[in-house]
């Protein structure tokens, strides 16, 4: 019983303490950038990627996409649905794509700037399943989606909203309504819109304009939402993805072109091969956006890991995943564009394997100089599941990284000679003036880590970090802290959703 | 029952598979080096450290140590046991201390070279307690020590032997015999000798000479063991530690001078203050070794983390610990000496907290350019306990890092154009020639990570990485693989130990 009371106290304390504010816009990446390959080799990879686009081509299933590229001068074989993109088109696209993109959030302090050197985190996304210690593993629902958006809103170090789980209890024609409702009313961070065809995308844009009170004109000039575009590697772009690139470019909204390639499966087995293919596909998507509208905001992206060659199972946070991120960073810097990379874990439980894989993958992204790190908290089972507790325990790492991004201003006094003058050989510094002036915010404060000694910890119930994480997410949801919203606009959004729902929704395109 | 059989199969498989060979000598650190402070600020810290030694002084409890420094020109106050070391002495010491040290192992492939740019790992050390899932948490014993040496021997990525746990079932006068017996007969890696006073150190040297068949002369010229020297921060060096520095320097053996400072407790609360103090103390120890014997092999060291200012509990793998390692690296590079840093965890269980802290601290050491990373696997409870399972799960990370240290030789063919020619848009690369030529050793092979999908994993028992780690350490110990030893020398060692034990052993000095 004491354990229960204690747990509740800890939980209420967890929610009461606002998370330390780690930069309300994007962070600056303080880590040095790593190279995996020589500059010459990277140049060769870049040239080979251009060769692939020019001579082997990329299959684009959407006629409109082929037409855009054909009009710009690409060779197109409509019967084979193939587009052969000359390097001059790619080079032109890299000239017009902006180097810096500021996305407007629902509040000014939620604006996010994407450019090389900046750093933005997102939690795990796109999982069909969710799991937590209370309710077990289950298909994702609208309720899970909304709870996970609330948890994402809670942490300042998560800068953008991704679609954490798939809402399997809602028919596909209506999910985009629930997506926008949750992202806009439960958070003021930058929302994600799935590219599942023009009808859903257009309606999502309309919901955003209604809720934010934006005219179509203002919307066209204000990046305020984003979509993730995955190619169907190798060398293929499907219809909804191509529509997404076109719709977002036309509307001045942000596409993140992210080939998702597993070495040995959808990509060559080598890091160099997989990243060259990924680079070619990203360049194809980027080029399409610029042919639709020069200057359209677009991010480079990569998500390349390996499979276990015995079982075909995907692996994350491996040395090869790490190296793929590093190599992608070298190529991304060649484009000059902001870019995303991802971490993740194949573990089935929120245990040390899960923690180690996600953190290892994260360091790959950080040392690669990635602008936007996706799946930085919560991913289990190679992305099939988002874990509530995993999200919390990973946030400890993300918060620590965010803390390391804080700019420092050292004074001579920080060297602490006055403290050494006060404390003699063998003494301690607990009470000295130098300590007393600084102790309140000298150190990072743990989110879920327990620093108590073994006896104290054991007496308090001997709980694992996974158990403590349950308290924290429960407290965040119970606290139900919402951003201030304009009720009339919320009402208008709600009416729009009701109306469109009555009308049968909008089916995804495939 | 099926679970049990499966577990045994996995365990026997774990032991049967020799661990991938990640460089049998030290690795090369492939990661870029990070700076926390500006060069000017680092210079100011270095100057302040020299000021501290020169004007505030350091307390050395051993008269012989004071005498060495006095003879070299330092000002000494014997009544106060204080030594004031002028900067010219420190500078002279940094001129004579070698930049590169090769320690001879028991086999040539176990030789370890310590110099800036190299990388050596050690598991967790110095814990009074041990824990594992079978036997629970308990005071360390001789058996535990021997088992943990066997586990350390098993992993190629662990390059040197530390004293993993304290053998509390053996009287202190005899522990150095058990230490040398385990380190020499169960492993051929470089052994550690505790500096617990000249009698034990001299006997340990003698055991090493007996077992390795070395003359005193050869021994003096061949670094083949090391000791860790902790100062008693702030500004104090106790008797056994000073004796250790002197004895190791006289014998041409390696001292690693490592102030262990917790910010806000034994050191100023700021990273700059704690590391300046640590630097001063390390320089004092290094200077002493060079005054005893110019050219004696000695490493710079640091282990600085913070305490939780509410409870006074030590914390590891925090942003401050990370930053302290980075700052220490900047100062270590000023000395040019090989140097050690450490990671660790304050967690009480081998859970995600434990994994995250140890890995976060590890990245601090790696980006700091540390030569020797101590406590890289197994540390729990801030070093009060070494966990058998924690050692295994941390080794996954160490192995992955070692894999990233492997030098790459990329060919144009690795870019995989032939694979892309073979596999059309939307196809897969599982069976293509480019894959088949490479798949056997394309990817890192997991030690304890389970990549199977949720259904397969669940059916196989749904075990955590902690449970799987138990299988692995049990299999390693059951396998009982020992290095080849010269039986006559082992006999001679055994006779020496028996003789000295009969004579009452050698008490530690304090």
Three-state DSSP string of A399-424: HHHHHHHCCCCCCHHHHCHHHHHHCC
Last residue of a domain, one of B347, B379, B405: B405
E-assigned strands of B147-189? none
Cα B201 to Cα B253: distance, rounded to the nearest angstrom: 11
Helix (H, G, I), strand (E, B) or coil at B387: strand
| Domain-embedded: residue B51 | no
What pLDDT is recorded for position B24? 52
Residue A429 and residue B267: Cβ atoms within 8 Å?
Answer: yes
Residue B457 and residue A348: Cβ atoms within 8 Å?
Answer: yes
Cα A226 to Cα A122: distance, rounded to the nearest angstrom: 12
Helix (H, G, I), strand (E, B) or coil at B221: helix
Task: Determine contact, residues B444/B107, Cβ cutoff 8 Å.
Answer: no
- Does A343 share its domain with A437? no
Please give the angle made by the CA atoms of B471, B472 and B476, to the nearest 5 degrees. 120
For chain B, the maximum distance between any two Cα atoms, rounded to a whole number of angstroms, is 84
Please give the angle made by the CA atoms of A153, A206 and A120, to the nearest 5 degrees. 30
pLDDT digits (tens, 9 = 90+) for A362-393: 999 999 999 999 999 999 999 999 999 999 99
Residue from A378, A331, A318 nearest A130 by CA: A378
Chain B neighbors of A420, CB-CB under 8 A = 52, 56, 234-235, 268, 273, 277
In chain B, whose CA is at the least distance from the CA of A306?
Answer: B443
ipTM field: 0.95
Helix (H, G, I), strand (E, B) or coil at B280: helix
B268–chain A nearest CA distance, Å = 6
Task: Determine contact, residues A318/B444, Cβ cutoff 8 Å.
Answer: yes
pLDDT digits (tens, 9 = 90+) for A294-344: 999 999 999 999 998 888 899 999 999 999 999 999 999 999 999 999 999
Q: Hey, of B352, B383, B444, B469, which one would you mutate to test binding to chain A, going by the most A CBs within 10 A of its CB?
A: B352
Separation in Å, CA B415 to CA A48, A85, A398: 8, 20, 33
Please give the angle made by the CA atoms of A344, A348 and A352, to the nearest 5 degrees. 70
Distance in angstroms between the alpha carbons of the first and the last residue of chain A: 54
Put residue B273 in one of left, alpha, beta given phi > 0 → left and psi -120 to 50 → alpha.
alpha
| Domain-embedded: residue A249 | yes
- Does B451 share its domain with B349? no
CB-nearest to A466 from B236, B306, B351 is B351
| Domain-embedded: residue B286 | yes
Q: What Rg value do the Cα atoms of chain A yield, rounded?
A: 24
Chain B neighbors of A41, CB-CB under 8 A = 410
Separation in Å, CA A68 to CA A28, A74, A285, A288: 36, 9, 12, 7
Cα B369 to Cα B363: distance, rounded to the nearest angstrom: 10
- Does A139 share its domain with A260? yes
Give the sign of the dihedral formed by CA A79, CA A80, CA A82, CA A84: negative
Residue A359 and residue B360: Cβ atoms within 8 Å?
Answer: yes
> What is this structure's pTM?
0.96
At A444, phi and psi to the nearest 5? -55, 135
Please give the angle made by the CA atoms of A244, A250 and A255, to the nearest 5 degrees. 45
- Does A205 share its domain with A149? yes
- Does B244 share its domain with B298? yes
Task: Determine contact, residues A188/A225, Cβ cutoff 8 Å.
Answer: no
A242–chain B nearest CA distance, Å = 15
- Rounded mean pLDDT for each run of 10 residues along chain B, 510 residues in total: 40 43 72 97 98 98 98 98 98 98 95 96 98 98 98 97 98 98 98 98 98 98 98 97 98 97 95 98 98 98 92 94 98 98 98 98 98 98 98 98 89 93 95 93 95 96 98 97 95 98 96
Residue A494 in tokens: 């709600």
> Could you give the dihedral angle defined by the CA atoms of residues B180, B186, B189 and B194, in that order, rounded to the nearest 10 degrees?
-20
Which residues are bridge partners to A301 per DSSP? A340
Residue A429 and residue B269: Cβ atoms within 8 Å?
Answer: yes
Residues 6+ apart with CB under 8 A from A91: none
Q: Is the peptide bond before B234 cis (omega within 30 degrees of 0)?
A: yes
Cα B352 to Cα A465: distance, rounded to the nearest angstrom: 7
- Does B321 share its domain with B453? no
Which residue is associated with the tokens 């929120």? A350
Counting every residue, how long is chain B?
A: 510
Cα A303 to Cα A361: distance, rounded to the nearest angstrom: 11
| Domain-embedded: residue B57 | no
Cα A355 to Cα B464: distance, rounded to the nearest angstrom: 12
Cα B184 to Cα A449: distance, rounded to the nearest angstrom: 39
What is the extent of the structural domain holding A120?
28-32+94-403
Task: Determine contact, residues A281/A259, Cβ cutoff 8 Å.
Answer: yes
CB-nearest to B438 from A269, A276, A449 is A269
What pLDDT is recorded for position B414? 92
| Domain-embedded: residue B78 | no
At A278, phi and psi to the nearest 5? -60, -40
Residue A417 and residue B319: Cβ atoms within 8 Å?
Answer: no
pLDDT digits (tens, 9 = 90+) for A446-485: 999 999 999 999 999 999 999 999 999 999 999 999 999 9
Last residue of a domain, one of A371, A403, A435: A403
Cα A318 to Cα A324: distance, rounded to the nearest angstrom: 10
| Domain-embedded: residue A89 | no
pLDDT at A18 over 50: no
Separation in Å, CA B272 to CA A438, B43, B229, B279: 13, 12, 22, 10
What pLDDT is recorded for position B160? 97
- Does B121 share its domain with B238? yes
What pLDDT is recorded for position A13? 46
pLDDT at A23 over 80: no
Residue A393 and residue B452: Cβ atoms within 8 Å?
Answer: no
| Domain-embedded: residue B393 | yes
| Domain-embedded: residue B60 | no
For chain A, the maximum distance between any two Cα atoms, rounded to a whole number of angstroms, is 84
Residue from A423, A330, A308 nearest A33 by CA: A330
pLDDT at A3 over 60: no
CATH at residue A229? 3.20.20.480
Q: CB burial class (10 A; 0-12, 13-18, 19+) of residue B448?
A: buried
Q: What is the mean pLDDT of residues A109-127?
A: 97
Chain B neighbors of A435, CB-CB under 8 A = 264, 268-269
- Does A348 share its domain with A438? no
Residue B184's Cα: distance from chain center in Å?
Answer: 17
Which residues are bridge partners to A306 per DSSP? A263, A315
Put residue A219 in one of left, alpha, beta given phi > 0 → left and psi -120 to 50 → alpha.
alpha
CB-nearest to A403 from B319, B403, B457 is B319
Helix (H, G, I), strand (E, B) or coil at B18: coil
pLDDT digits (tens, 9 = 90+) for A131-143: 999 999 999 999 9
Residues 6+ apart with CB under 8 A from B290: B92, B93, B96, B97, B249, B296, B298
Cα A449 to Cα A446: distance, rounded to the nearest angstrom: 5
Helix (H, G, I), strand (E, B) or coil at A255: strand
- Does B14 share its domain with B152? no
Which residue is associated with the tokens 């590093």? A326
- Does A148 share its domain with A236? yes
Which residue is associated with the tokens 């070298």? A330
Mean pLDDT of chain A: 94
Task: Determine contact, residues A158/A398, Cβ cutoff 8 Å.
Answer: yes
Residue A214's Cα: distance from chain center in Å?
Answer: 25
Helix (H, G, I), strand (E, B) or coil at B138: strand
pLDDT digits (tens, 9 = 90+) for A184-220: 999 999 999 999 999 999 999 999 999 999 999 999 9
Cα A188 to Cα A172: distance, rounded to the nearest angstrom: 25
Q: Is the peptide bond before A115 cis (omega within 30 degrees of 0)?
A: no
Q: Hey, of B425, B431, B462, B470, which one would you mutate to test binding to chain A, going by the most A CBs within 10 A of its CB?
A: B425
Residue B451 and residue A32: Cβ atoms within 8 Å?
Answer: no
Q: Which residue has the higher pLDDT, B6 or A169?
A: A169
In chain A, whose CA is at the least distance from the CA of B322?
Answer: A404
At A283, phi and psi to the nearest 5? -65, -35
Residue from A449, A404, A337 nearest A28 by CA: A404
Q: How many CB atoms lie within 10 A of CB B196?
A: 23
Residue B200 in tokens: 């034990």
Separation in Å, CA A19 to CA A155, A201, A373, A444: 6, 33, 20, 11
Last residue of a domain, one of B377, B405, B433: B405
Please give the angle made by the CA atoms of B504, B506 and B510, to the nearest 5 degrees. 135
- Does B118 share its domain with B183? yes
Distance in angstroms between the alpha carbons of the first and the last residue of chain B: 54
Q: What is the mean pLDDT of residues A272-300?
A: 98
In chain A, whose CA is at the least distance from the CA of B363?
Answer: A363
- Does A300 share its domain with A161? yes
DSSP state letter for A509: P
CB-nearest to A397 from B356, B415, B421 is B356
What pLDDT is recorded for position B25? 65
Residue B400 and residue A319: Cβ atoms within 8 Å?
Answer: yes
Cα A350 to Cα A390: distance, rounded to the nearest angstrom: 5
Q: What's the order of all strands across the beta sheet hosting A314-315?
A: A260-263, A303-307, A314-315
Residue B419 and residue A45: Cβ atoms within 8 Å?
Answer: no
What total number of domains does chain B contain? 2
């Amino acid at each position: 019983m004491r354990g229960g009371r204690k747990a509740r106290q800890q939980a209420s304390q967890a929610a009461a303490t606002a998370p330390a504010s780690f930069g309300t816009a994007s962070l600056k990446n303080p880590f040095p950038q790593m190279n995996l390959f020589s500059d010459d080799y990277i140049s060769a990879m870049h040239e080979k990627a251009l060769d692939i686009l020019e001579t082997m081509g990329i299959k684009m299933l959407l006629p409109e996409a082929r037409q855009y590229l054909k009009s710009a001068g690409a060779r197109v074989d409509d019967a084979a649905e193939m587009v052969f993109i000359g390097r001059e088109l790619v080079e032109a696209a890299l000239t017009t794509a902006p180097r810096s993109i500021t996305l407007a959030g629902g509040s000014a302090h939620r604006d996010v700037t994407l450019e090389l050197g900046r750093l933005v985190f997102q939690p795990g996304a796109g999982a069909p399943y969710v799991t937590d210690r209370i309710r077990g593993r289950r298909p994702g629902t609208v309720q899970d989606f909304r709870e996970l958006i609330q948890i994402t809103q809670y942490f300042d170090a998560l800068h953008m909203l991704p679609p954490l789980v798939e809402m399997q209890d809602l028919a596909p024609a209506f999910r985009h309504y629930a997506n926008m409702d949750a992202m806009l009313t439960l958070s003021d961070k930058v929302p994600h819109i799935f590219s599942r065809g023009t009808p859903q995308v257009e309606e999502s844009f309309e919901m955003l304009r209604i809720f934010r009170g934006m005219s179509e004109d203002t919307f066209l000039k204000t990046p305020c939402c984003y979509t993730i575009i995955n190619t169907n590697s190798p060398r293929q772009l499907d219809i909804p993805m191509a529509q997404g690139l076109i719709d977002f470019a036309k509307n001045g909204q942000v596409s993140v072109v992210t080939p998702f390639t597993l070495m040995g499966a959808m990509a060559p087995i080598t890091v160099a091969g997989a990243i060259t293919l990924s680079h070619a596909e990203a360049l194809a998507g980027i080029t399409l956006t610029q042919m639709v509208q020069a200057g359209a905001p677009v991010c480079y992206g990569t998500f390349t890991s390996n499979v276990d060659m015995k079982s075909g199972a995907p692996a994350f946070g491996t040395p090869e995943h790490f190296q793929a991120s590093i190599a992608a960073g070298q190529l991304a810097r060649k484009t000059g564009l902001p870019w995303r990379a991802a971490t993740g874990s194949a573990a089935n439980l929120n245990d040390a394997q899960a923690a180690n894989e996600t953190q290892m993958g994260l360091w790959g992204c950080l040392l690669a100089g990635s602008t936007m790190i996706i799946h930085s908290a919560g991913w289990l089972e190679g992305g099939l599941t988002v874990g509530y507790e995993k999200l919390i325990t990973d946030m400890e790492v993300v918060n620590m990284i965010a803390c390391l991004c804080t700019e420092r201003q050292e004074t001579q006094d920080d060297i602490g000679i006055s403290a050494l003058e006060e404390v003699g050989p063998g003494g301690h510094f607990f009470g000295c003036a130098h300590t007393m002036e600084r102790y309140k915010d000298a150190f990072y404060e743990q989110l879920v880590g327990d620093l108590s000694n073994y006896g104290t910890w054991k007496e308090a119930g001997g709980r694992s970090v996974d158990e403590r994480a349950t308290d924290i997410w429960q407290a965040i949801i119970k606290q139900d802290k919402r951003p201030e919203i304009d009720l009339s606009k919320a009402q208008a959004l709600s009416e729009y959703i009701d109306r469109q729902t009555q009308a049968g929704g909008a089916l995804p395109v495939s």
